[in-house]
């Protein structure tokens, strides 16, 4: 804003009125073209945001369905479907899978936000597994492999019907697909030349308006204000698009992944694991959820 004001004032006061006068038709045409240009960018950025939101919804829904199949609530035992006897091995493995699922969702969240991936999830993993994950570049992916291992342990104890067996395999595939879809979207940025030329066109419009407005009758020095206002409007639209192009960056315009992770965490702890102590819900910060 300050730079636009300086450029506008310099052109209006020192250059434009004395040496060069540009017809208002030229910035009008450029402004119309730039509006179309920015409209396309904003729509494309919103599509990226909504696509990312869909991927994240898949992660949360698959996690909830996963726990729904694994959990045993209201005193229901982990019974072997063949021998009809309780299985302590399956109880330990399946409870570990639900807790690991909470850790996995948070880990994917942290990886997408480029934060420490294992931060805050130690309480949901066994100490040996937690330490081993530090050696992996993609610890969230390794957790899915660990889930598959524990699933085979529970399946060997005859904990699932054939239908449940196939459902769990499908849910694990969906979680893997959703994670890779999020990582793929994050790793495919909006074309950089589009951003570069958008900035160039905005500055061209600001300069041309500064050269053309002083020639209009009865506007005088108010043309500086008009230049700044126009530059601000187009810059803000461009800025909104640039923020929405990165739906996983940790700012107030992105998907509220932390709040959604905490909501899932509270649900699984309270319902699937029947725990009384659950962490508080994440509250908005200055009106925005993160």
pTM for the full predicted model: 0.83
Tell me which residue of 204, 129, 273 sits closest to 121, measured CA to CA.
Answer: 129
Under 8 Å CB-to-CB from 100, ≥6 apart: which residues? 124, 125, 129, 143, 146, 147, 150
Evaluate if residue 12 carries a pLDDT over 80: no
Tell me which residue of 5, 145, 159, 169 sits closest to 77, measured CA to CA.
Answer: 159
Contact (CB, 8 A) for 220 and 34: no
Going by pLDDT thresholds of 50, 70 and 90, the confidence category of residue 42 is: confident
Going by pLDDT thresholds of 50, 70 and 90, the confidence category of residue 268 is: very high
Cα separation, 66 vs 70, in Å, equals 6
Evaluate if residue 15 carries a pLDDT over 60: no
Q: Which pLDDT score is estimated for 176?
A: 95
* Chain segment 54-69, per-residue pLDDT in tens: 999 999 999 999 999 9
Q: Which pLDDT score is estimated for 19?
A: 53
Burial of 162 (0-12, 13-18, 19+ CB in 10 A): exposed
For the segment 187-208, the average pLDDT, to the nearest whole number, is 82
Evaluate if residue 16 carries a pLDDT over 60: no
* Chain segment 96-113, per-residue pLDDT in tens: 999 999 999 999 999 999
* Chain segment 132-153, per-residue pLDDT in tens: 999 999 999 999 999 999 999 9
Contact (CB, 8 A) for 133 and 118: yes
Q: Which pLDDT score is estimated for 6?
A: 79
The domain spans of the chain are: 55-188
Cα separation, 58 vs 282, in Å, equals 21
The encoded tokens of residue 84 equal: 């009809």
Q: Count CB-CB contacts under 10 A for residue 187.
A: 7
Percentage of residues in the chain having pLDDT higher than 90: 47
* Chain segment 217-246, per-residue pLDDT in tens: 556 677 778 888 888 888 888 888 888 888
């Amino acid at each position: 804003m300050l730079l636009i004001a300086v450029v506008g004032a310099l052109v209006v006061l020192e250059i434009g009125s004395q040496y060069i006068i540009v017809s208002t038709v030229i910035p009008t045409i450029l402004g119309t073209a730039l509006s179309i240009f920015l409209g396309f960018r904003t729509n494309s950025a919103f599509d990226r945001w909504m696509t990312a939101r869909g991927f994240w919804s898949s992660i949360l829904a698959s996690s909830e369905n996963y726990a729904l199949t694994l959990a045993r609530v209201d005193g229901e035992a982990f019974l072997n479907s063949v021998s009809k006897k309780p299985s302590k091995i399956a109880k330990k493995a399946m409870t570990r899978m639900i807790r690991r699922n909470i850790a996995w969702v948070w880990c994917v969240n942290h990886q997408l936000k480029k934060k420490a991936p294992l931060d805050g999830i130690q309480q949901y993993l066994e100490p040996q597994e937690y330490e081993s994950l530090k050696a992996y570049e993609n610890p969230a992916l390794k957790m899915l492999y660990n889930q598959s291992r524990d699933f085979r342990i529970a399946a060997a104890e005859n904990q699932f019907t054939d239908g449940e067996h196939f459902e769990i395999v499908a849910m694990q595939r969906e979680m893997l697909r959703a994670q890779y879809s999020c990582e793929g979207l994050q790793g495919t940025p909006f074309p950089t030349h589009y951003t570069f030329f958008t900035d160039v066109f905005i500055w061209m419009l600001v300069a041309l308006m500064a050269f053309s407005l002083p020639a209009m009758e009865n506007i005088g020095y108010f043309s500086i204000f008009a230049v700044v206002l126009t530059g601000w409007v187009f810059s803000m639209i461009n800025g909104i698009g640039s923020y929405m192009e990165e739906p996983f960056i940790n700012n107030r315009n992105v998907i509220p992944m932390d709040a959604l992770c905490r909501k899932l965490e509270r649900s699984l702890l309270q319902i699937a694991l029947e725990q009384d102590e659950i962490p508080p819900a994440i509250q908005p910060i200055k009106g925005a959820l993160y």
